[in-house]
Amino acid sequence: MDNSSVETAIKTSSESEISDRSGFEPELGGELRQNAVFVDETVCIGCGHCAHTASSTFFLEEDYGRARVIAQDGDEEELVQEAIDTCPVDCIAWVNYNDLNKLEEARKHQIIQNLGIIGDGAALRRAINSQT
């Protein structure tokens, strides 16, 4: 490989790295968080405390009654940390953004039981209908 080919490869690589940046990364002085928040739905008991504390970050997923993150930047970091600190089963944690995709991919293959505690009564109706 000649020098011009190497220079072209380096330039192309550098340009793609730059284009993947938004400028808001913490290491560039931006406001994005260093870590993402993740809920281990297999441990969550669906108490809803996190969704009450940081409602722009967490919600109770309708099908299973477990907490889930809806927006990584939904609430101030201190409010998210309060939700983490006060979770009764310690199922919420800060994770590296690089690990977040792996964790969410693994969740797709987990069996999560329906807690049936969402207030619309749908779980109860399904249970009654399945018995008849």
DSSP code per residue over 35-75: EEEEE-TTT-----HHHHHSTTTEEE-TTT--EEES-TTSS
At 107, the pLDDT band (50, 70, 90 cuts) reads confident
- Range of lowest pLDDT (13-17, 50-54, 72-76, 115-119): 13-17
Where do we find the tokens 């297999």?
A: 42
3-state DSSP call for residue 20? coil
CA atoms within 13 A on the CB side of 23: 0
- Top pLDDT among 23 and 70 is at 70
| Residue 94: its H or E element | strand 92-96
**Does residue 56 surpass a pLDDT of 60?**
yes
Name the burial class of residue 37, with classes exposed (0-12), middle (13-18) and buried (19+) by CB atoms within 10 angstroms of its CB: buried
Please provide the size of the chain in residues. Answer: 132
Over residues 2-50, the pLDDT tens digits come to 555 445 544 444 444 445 655 555 555 555 567 899 999 889 999 999 9
Q: How confident is the model at residue 79 (pLDDT cuts 50, 70, 90)?
A: very high
First to last CA, the chain: 73
Element (H, E) at 92: strand 92-96
Q: Would the pLDDT of 120 be above 70? A: no
Pairing outcome for strands 35-39 and 58-60: unpaired
* Residue 80 CB coordination number (10 Å): 24
